[in-house]
């Protein structure tokens, strides 16, 4: 009887690596099945949310208030209006640019400009010499 038990325990000890391998396989399969379940559960929840959204949007239907129709006369651009707007914008931008350049120009034009700016009398100035046309 003791020999039978010893034999039985030896057999169990010898089978331990096989049992560990089987346990590892079962654990791996369990984890894979659990991951698959979580993935499917997530997809199911997403599908449920999409279905609920679709149900809520079913009530939002559009109605045509005024049907589209052809114009009674052909559309032509108003040439006079376009020309007047162009002329106005051109003149305004020209005058604006001239005003801006004049405001940004801080050069002295004559002796009086220099005296007014620095506060001293001008002792001498060099006159501008103009060339005669040939």
pLDDT digits (tens, 9 = 90+) for 32-79: 999 999 999 999 999 998 888 887 776 666 677 888 888 888 788 899
H-type alpha helices, 59-132: 79-104, 111-118
Q: Is residue 108 included in any domain, yes or no?
A: yes
Residue 66 covered by a domain: no
Q: In this structure, is residue 120 part of a structural domain?
A: yes
- Render the burial of 97-134: b for 16+ CB within 10 Å, e for the rest: eeeeeeeeeeeeeeeeeeeeeeeeeeeeeeeeeeeeee
Do residues 17 and 52 both lie within one domain? yes
Domain membership flag for residue 69: no
> How many structural domains are present in the chain?
2
pLDDT digits (tens, 9 = 90+) for 20-44: 999 999 999 999 999 999 999 999 9
Give me the pLDDT at residue 81, please: 94
Please report whether residue 121 resides in a domain.
yes
The pLDDT of residue 34: 97
Residue 82 or 15, more confident: 82
Which residues constitute the domain of residue 106? Answer: 79-127
Mean pLDDT of 109-134: 82
133 within domain boundaries: no
| 83 in the same domain as 51 | no
């Amino acid at each position: 009887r003791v020999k039978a038990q010893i034999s039985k325990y030896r057999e169990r000890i010898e089978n331990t690596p096989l049992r560990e391998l089987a346990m590892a396989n079962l654990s791996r399969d369990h984890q894979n099945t659990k991951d698959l379940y979580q993935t499917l559960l997530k997809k199911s929840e997403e599908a449920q949310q999409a279905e609920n959204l679709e149900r809520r949007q079913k009530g939002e239907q559009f109605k045509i208030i005024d049907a589209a129709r052809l114009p009674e006369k052909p559309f032509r651009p108003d040439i006079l209006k376009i020309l007047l707007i162009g002329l106005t914008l051109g003149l305004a931008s020209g005058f604006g640019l001239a005003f801006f350049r004049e405001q940004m120009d801080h050069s002295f034009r004559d002796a009086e400009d220099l005296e007014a700016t620095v506060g001293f009398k001008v002792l001498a100035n060099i006159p501008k010499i103009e060339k005669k046309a040939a």
